[in-house]
Structure 1
């Protein structure tokens, strides 16, 4: 295969629970071969991969072909039971380690070659003909040497002038010089209590953010009650990668214009970021997941959470505060926001405020302006189906007669599904709106897109996964049968209730506003009256000063009247 030929990347390989270290190295080689390049560079990558894996170039080509056919399972090989164990007795293993440690105490220094010479001398002393070779000594000491080198490695250089450099767990320094080069992702528990559509308390949601390291611009988010996982990360990435459009109900003054695909995804070492699912997404979309060397490297992605808390969450009803001991007493009583309402507020804050603010290190550019100016090229536009196959939540169902499917007590129907009655298909969906499902059929190790399936009678509505579960629970408790019509009716009644609630609040606001205006008028009239009286008093006082008083009797006596 040549680099100019189309690469038939495996669309949805079998997901393995845990990827061994050896398979991870193979996956890195596969990632390098998937990146676009010319014929000369492709040949060099083959040779580099062969050297890295310790196999021939032809073996690397066979491995790449096997990966295209089988996915991640091609990278996992059956290992010997004693793999990783040194085939020398315990005496020699302890002698090698102790000799190396004693030889490097304090100011002393001893290398593996000198340790091997001590091994030879000891073998002669005890008259042992079978002793460890130099390569065996190297294998025994490799973990110790690697540990010492990592301990001596310097911290990330950080900001050098106007450039930022970060260090990966592999010891690589990434110098960030343009937008969409390095994205960072992390989660936080939102310090706001939410209620469901019926006003019942349901708890605090999780917020996942994806941030561009060069501009500090927020690229995408995911807000929901699911705990951090690779699927939650995937949904946040999907939101970040796609161009974003929002309805008028979000009341945005600006557009969320940042999107594209990163070259690296830089995260902490959490299990959700080390998953095979995320590695496979990186291979499919063409970015490389990298782990942070130290927790202190995560300031770029963690600092915005504090901004959210101080500038947004602390102003909302139901705010709990980050300190449990200092939690407001009436947080549970004050809670009144739903997940959808909070999501609208978060989006509005990001688009109209956070991305439009000037970062301290950016001078006269807002975060969005810096992101836009720092693009090396126009971001790649992905087909949503490509992202669905890698990023959306997955479940499996059996097709019923007539092409119908049932999911979360909702009945769906998809075009062209009649002929697949009785077959098990894969459903992919966005938990924020499950009125549409994407249906895939598994063919060997591949999944082929079949059609969309729409919720019957709910095509014009928006129904999240949590709302569907809450509606079903409410209908069960009321002793009613669950169907699309009952769920639709429940949604309609809920919307009417919310509108009434909003109207009542609006009337209360109007009454308060009217009372306030009346109070202001009375105060203004009182102040005006007092001002007039004061003026009249001043005028009266000044007039009295100008009047001259004559004594009539005195005048008669003086002038002999």
Structure 2
């Protein structure tokens, strides 16, 4: 806006002070010296005067200008802006709200000067000046009290919105461009648009960073540059759990972790990776049961870890796990993957259903909700890093000497690692200091011992039930040699199987002890027990007592099967045929079959029979046959004779 120059005398009139006072305080406003009639005249920009003086000038010079309706201050907007403002902006707002309130109604430089002197003496931590008061009054008059919040944040920034958009677009990305690179991008785009010619007329990098920090909270910048997962792991919203009503041992949380250690496994040339399936008490973080294994995570290892914990402490009431295949299946939880979780409809043969344990599954891709993940980090730092074959969780953590260690083969075997890990989990980990909010500096074992005595003893199960915990189920049919377990290519036999051949059953077996298994019908009712059958050698020698015993056992089994089948299906007797026919006749009922009567077809036999009857009446049958002479034959009237004669010719 162009300045409006007025004389010092007019300025003194608008300000309500003398011309001499205006000349003494001329540095407070925009002024210039001009020549009029051969002499220098002091002129002042009316726009730089306080709002009251400039408004008075407008009213005097533009009497026809319509009045502008001022809108009321939006208190709610001011409060919301104040809540979102930085500490520096809040401090500025509080200071100037108080100063403007105290000096309200004070006009004139002389009176304001006295107020400023008294204020600075009484409030040395919030000093001010006449010029600052005029500026803040004008700011509030134009933009309301909200301008006091944004005073030093964005309104006076030298970075334009277009420049700032280019900078923040480059800086707030997961690629983590530096502030200098983002500044260079903004500078280059500004030059292309013709907004600047060089660095001299372009804001500095610090100006961009200051505006970025004033408009975006630190956590927002962290989210944009570090990503969603890291943000929620470190700065995201987390629920505050209340453990007051939770009993020790009531809820177990489980998961499987890969040890960051290479081990040597017999029969494998390459270094092997090993795992731990762990169940931990939700309240005390005490390890309940675990299973160390070097094969891929599966239901068998999960069931073994559960069995170890139940055998040692007792049954939990609830289990909290993720949605892995080792948990979402028919044998462990009764809740298969790919189906909606229905906690009240668990598969009847699952471990959870048999033991009366309620299953809880974590939200998909929300592993941070499980406290066991944080405890795995403690195990990693206090055990994994003790081995020279420690491989780290990623490429960055991988130790440099690892390659040489693996090449020399100078690292622990699976058996050695297994013994040390078992000792650590049982004797070391429970005694480590815990940083849990409700632990108050106590170890896991100390908090467990204090809490477990406050509740009733945990439920126990029999050894028979424990042996069934790790069992697996598979469906199949009883065949000629018994039940064939295709997964392991083994056969099972029992004396009750002959009568069940061809029927479908549910087969349950223990991977740790394959000697005995159990079969159930489709209604989940136990049929009986069966035993593992080993194959007999193709050629059994005379001194092979084991082979002979196996053959004898097989022959005896075959005879028993024949005897049992004969009892069920005895041989038929000769009387049964007539009995069965009579029963069948009764079943079909009386058979009234209509027989139509047609014309009789006469043959030569009928003619001969008539002649014999005639001869018998006259008594010369023999005599007729004795005569051998020319006898006149009558023409045949029989169709059969005509056909026979014609065929002979």
Q: TM-score, normalised by structure 2?
A: 0.36
- Give 1 or 2 for the bigger CA radius of gyration: 2
Q: TM-score, normalised by structure 1?
A: 0.41
Which has the bigger relative contact order, CA under 8 A and spacing at least 6? Answer: 1
